[in-house]
Amino acid sequence: MTRLPDSFYQRDVLEVAPELLGKRIVHNISKPQQEYMITEVEAYRGEEDLACHASKGRTKRTEIMYHQGGFVYVYLIYGMYWMMNIVTGDKGNPQAVLIRGVKGISGPGRLGKVLQLDKSYYGEHLVTSPRIWLATADDCPDYRVTPRINIDSAGVPWINKPWRYILNNI
DNA sequence: GGCACGATGTGA
DNA sequence: CACATCGTGCCG
């Protein structure tokens, strides 16, 4: 299993998101290093996507999404859960994939807890970081799609976009 | 400076 | 269904 290169992330989020299914999150903060198979993700695509944090424009919080793909975007929700996101696409085009679940762990909040995420992960470069990165897998994943979760306030058409990807036969 | 609220999870 | 708990955007 090898670390995913820059080129993997530097494509449109709708292309990258489903390909993240089955890939491994490698977490190297204690030994042995841990690996988690990604089972569920959601795509957030550009300023026009009202469910995407970048719909508020470029701010200190969304800044990282304006970078080229391959960086980690973390943020705190409800005052207690750190969400794990992967920046994708080209520089200047804010996109990210929210990792909603990995094998054995469901829910983005739980994942953040397991990975011990905090503010220090903001902007971590997955291609060079010594503590977290993504690795290839030899699976050929079979998945299904649904609308994204808990983004009602984004309204139509965004609440209807089938941008949540879930691995079958987990 | 103050305030309302959220890409959630838990437990009653 | 209520609520824990706090960074962020927005308004002033």
Nucleotide nearest to A55 (CA to C1'): C9
Nucleotide nearest to A76 (CA to C1'): C7
Tens digits of residue pLDDT in A57-108: 999 999 999 999 999 999 999 999 999 999 999 999 999 999 999 999 999 9
CA A64 – C1' C10 distance (Å)?
Answer: 21
The token pair that represents A77 in the structure block: 């929700």
**Is position A1 within any domain?**
no
Range(s) of the domain holding residue A124:
6-167
pTM of the model: 0.95
Count up the domains in chain A and report the number. Answer: 1
- Which regions of A58-160 does DSSP assign to beta strands (E)? 72-77, 81-87, 95-102, 105-106, 132-135, 143-146
CATH number at residue A78: 3.10.300.10
